[in-house]
Structure 1
Amino acid sequence: MKCLLSALLCILLTLSVVTGTYDCQCTCPTGWMKFNGFCYKFFTERMTWADARHHCHQLRSLLPSVPDEHVNTFLLNLIRSEDNREHSVWLGGTDCRKEGMWTWADGTPWNYTLWATGEPKNYQQEHCLQLNWKGNKPACNILHCFC
């Protein structure tokens, strides 16, 4: 699978929680930001989607899902607060298992619908999802990462 290097954004998994109803009452590690019971971190290193996912796993975290507009807005604001430049970042969405059937890496239901018109789509057969507010569609191979 080809994928772009993006900024890394990971969502920290504390305990082994995969349900959408869990609210972490924990304190996030230094450098991580808490939102809706989860801890998030933006990384400026650029990497492929697969490498970003692996990087998050090494931190006991996942690439984030976007269940609603609140999380989408939080992620955009977090990226902008961490680095003033406009970045595209990897999210945990993929359609690798079945073409056009998008799923989240953390197992949460795929029900967010406020994507740009026609999105998400499988641009150049990449099977990975990025958060990109500039509107351009770089090939899916080098972006920043979020955990």
Structure 2
Amino acid sequence: MLTAVLLVSAAMALTTTNGFIFQRKNCPPGWLWSNKSCYFYYSGPRTWARAEEACMHLGGHLASVHSVTEYLRVQGLVAQFSHGFMPLWLGANDAAQEGQWFWSDGTQFHYSNWCPGQHNNHFEDCLQINFGERKCWDDVSCQHSLPFLCQKPSRASLCP
């Protein structure tokens, strides 16, 4: 928990140094704003289900990615928090039907960045990112424990 508090404190000091991630009034304290969403990085490893539960408790879901631009933005955020490209959970899984991936926030699963030969393993139903040298996606057992990234709409994106 202390690690998460220290990371939140560091995050609050961020500015637009990388051009897209900074603290903003449209996100709760400790969350970072980027492209109409708020993000919270949690370094404490949890199973995929426990990570999703923690994000829901905070009013969001595990993060979803819908374009290469979003993926690079998410990687940049993770790199700032973890001082590298650490593997972590995002919100996709194919637990309901093998090969049919969906995001836990209910959005469509159209974009992917699978590592060569990945997303082909039975009983490996959850998505980790920053896998291997290419820092691409891999399907792993949902019982594995990893850090994770939560996402929720910013308050500005909720306004009509």
- What's the % identity of the aligned pairs? 32
1:124–1:139 CA contact under 8 A, matched in 2: no
Larger mean CA deviation between 37-46 and 26-35 belongs to 26-35
1:144 is aligned to: 147
Distance 1:104 1:53 in 2: 11
Unaligned runs of 5+ in 2: 1-23, 151-160
Secondary structure at 1:118 match in 2: coil
SS of the aligned residue for 1:115 comes to: coil
- How far off is 1:79 after superposition? 0.7
Q: CA RMSD in A?
A: 2.3
Do the aligned residues in 1 keep the contact of 2:92 with 2:102 (CA within 8 Å)? yes
State the shift of 1:142 in Å: 1.2
Q: 1:26 to 1:118 in 2, by over 3 A?
A: farther
Hey, what does 1:118 align to over in structure 2?
A: 117
1:57 aligned to 2:43?
Answer: no
Q: Residue 122 and residue 50 in structure 1: after superposition, are their counterparts in 2 closer, same or farther (change >3 A)?
A: farther
Alignment deviations for residues 14-61 of structure 1 (CA, whole Å, 9 cap, x no partner): xxxxxxxxxxx9711122111121101111101100110111011111
Please state which structure has a larger fraction of its residues in helix: 2
Partner Cα distance (2:139, 2:109) in 1? 23
Between the aligned partners of 1:138 and 1:99, the Cα distance in structure 2 is 11
Structure 1 residues 139 and 92: CA distance shift in structure 2, 3 A: closer
Structure-2 separation of matches of 1:115 and 1:104? 15
Partner of 2:132: 134
For structure 1, which segment, 89-98 or 130-139, has the greater mean C-alpha deviation from structure 2 after superposition?
130-139
Name structure 1 gaps, 5 residues minimum.
Answer: 1-24
Instruction: Return the offset for 1:96.
Output: 1.2
**Equivalents in 2 of 1:54, 1:95: separation in Å?**
17
Structure showing greater relative contact order (alpha-carbon pairs closer than 8 Å, 6 or more residues apart): 1
3-state SS of paired residue (1:132): strand
Q: Partners in 1 of 2:127 and 2:121 — Cα distance?
A: 10
Q: CA deviation at 1:110?
A: 1.1
- Where do residues 4-15 of structure 1 align in structure 2 (5 Å cutoff)? none
Structure 1 residues 93 and 139, CA, compared in 2 at 3 Å: closer, same or farther? Answer: closer
In structure 1, distance between residues paired with 2:96 and 2:32: 31
Deviation at 1:133, TM superposition (A): 4.0
Higher gyration radius (CA)? 2
TM-score (norm 2): 0.68
Is 2:46–2:145's contact at 8 Å kept on the other side of the alignment?
yes
Q: Aligned pairs, how many?
A: 122
TM-score by length of 1: 0.74
